[in-house]
Amino acid sequence: MLCYLIGYPIGHSMSAVMHNAAFMELGLDFAYHLLEVRPEDLEKAVSETLRASDVRGANVTIPHKVSVMGYLDEIDLEAMRIEAVNTIVNDGGRLKGYNTDGIGALRAIRERYGDLRGARAVILGAGGAARAISYKLAENVSEVRILNRTPSRAEALSDYLSSLRECRAEISSDGLSRDSIRASLEGADILVNTTPLGMHPDTEASPVDQGLLRPGLLVFDAVYNPPTTRLLREAEASGSRVLTGVSMLVYQGVAAFELWTGREAPEAVMMESVLDALGGGGS
């Protein structure tokens, strides 16, 4: 059986490394391939490739996570709420979309932070990753504050989350600046970066000045290449707890793997394969 990653552009994918290692570990006759799909070719790729009898599913990445929803037969409720799909399952030619990004992030944060009740979170960015992570946090923490370079996008996401019945948190938003970060972090317990700042090759960039970081704060960077970003290095030096984006990557992959195969994912193998590839200079 085949699984794909569809996106444009794709480049080198840690998902391929991770899933192929997992398939091999369990002796499954599966293979994971990259499929670069231009936006104008998305409908054709879904109908002609993903519905094929030898295809079990796909992961979906930028820029198709929202637009692909229009070509699927069914969408899981959580993916519908997040308004993005990152995993597709082909069940006899019928395609169902899921979102495992939020599941992966929440699991990683819980493992590092502990009980999230009463926690106050600040999220940098308002794109696809921010939508998934903020949705899951809004179900579990007391406050979520979203900061984005375009304040209207942060406000729109804040208003949307606040409108959902499963939202238990107080949601607010602001622009993304040193002053807004400083003010937001004063009472925060968790900082989540979903912006690309610090991602390979621009590894010396950071969205937060080190002087704003402090002990008692959990700093989670969704960037996974490099595994330890400048933000995380400076957070650790400031006494903050840190969480790399590798955990979210692997845990969302675990959820996708189990949807496709119905088997328990070999998590340790998946984690090791990603870390080895990144340590070997993967990008």
Which tokens sit at 151?
């304040």
CA angle 235, 108, 244 (to 5 degrees): 35
Distance (Å, whole) CA 267 – CA 110:
17
Which tokens sit at 129?
């990753």
Residue 178 DSSP symbol: H
Going along 61-211, which residue ranges are E strands? Answer: 74-75, 87-91, 94-98, 120-124, 143-148, 170-175, 190-193
Q: In what order do the strands lie in the sheet with 31-36?
A: 31-36, 2-7, 55-60, 87-91, 94-98, 74-75
Distance (Å, whole) CA 143 – CA 130:
15
65 is catalytic: yes
- Helices 267-279, 14-26: crossing angle, 10 deg rounding: 140
9: cis peptide before it, omega within 30°? yes
Which is catalytic among the residues 44, 65, 96, 136? 65
Distance (Å, whole) CA 96 – CA 119:
33
Q: Are 46 and 71 in contact (CB under 8 A)?
A: yes
Residues tagged active-site: 65
